[in-house]
Amino acid sequence: MKQIKVTIAGPRGRMGKEAVDLVQNTPHFTLISVIDHKGEASLDVPVYKEITECFNEETPHVLIDLTTPEVGYIHTKTALEYGVRPVVGTTGFTAEELSELKALAESRELGCIIAPNFAIGAVLMMKFSQMAAKYFEDIEIIELHHDQKLDAPSGTAVKTAEMIKEVREPKTQGHQNEKESISGARGANIDGMHIHSVRLPGLIAHQQVMFGAEGQTLTVRHDSYNRASFMSGVKVSVETVMNLNTLVYGLENILD
């Protein structure tokens, strides 16, 4: 198998550390550099504070970005401009940003994968939820994450709602005269579905999608108990992005 040279942005974060271990322990991956905004990563590869400085010195095939939405967008755009294929685990991209990045990827004939969730089980949870939504139109999404997560709702919850929207007609759920006595009690509203975000120490990444119908409920749930659970999806993405010439949003789109 062809050797894939990788640069990682965000190597000191919890996900970044797992990605470093993944790349260093995968025989056909080679970690050639990392990008750390403080320059404090302690690794046996060059450490760069700025992405342009890195790409002027190094020639990776793939950038794994595990930073923040604002930085991730800049890194993804810069990588494509330098001919590097991004694999991005940062959530919070706007529709306009995704459209711009897709146009750039296609103009350069480069692959790009942006995944709200890299856990294979989470992707299956989203797929199963989309299947169930054809038969259950009343839906609530509850996503639970650690208390250091910056965005709410999570990218996984938003992606789940988007997938459900493809098969479900908009519907206002609950009583027609329902009123929130405390603003936000019913959560975010997407096409009548409600999304609730929980943030607590001790959690990692969890989501349940609840479906209700007359006389029955159905719950589809996924739990990630450590960040190593995301690495199988990162590995598949790095391998797959080498054969793409467009942007793919969502891991479910590259799984057979």
Q: Which residues are catalytic?
A: 145, 149
157 DSSP 8-state letter: H
Do 88 and 114 meet the contact criterion of CB atoms below 8 Å apart?
yes
Nearest 10 degrees: CA dihedral of 102, 84, 73, 130?
50
- Alpha-helix runs per DSSP H in 63-144: 69-81, 95-108, 120-132
- Amino acid identity of residue 79, one-letter, is A
Interhelix angle 120-132/155-165, rounded to 10 degrees, is 30
CB count within 10 Å of CB 100 equals: 16
Q: Which of 251, 223, 233 is nearest to 144 (CA)?
A: 223
Taking the alpha carbons of 12, 18, 22, 25 in that order, is the dihedral positive or negative?
A: positive
Phi, psi at 239, each rounded to 5°: -70, -40
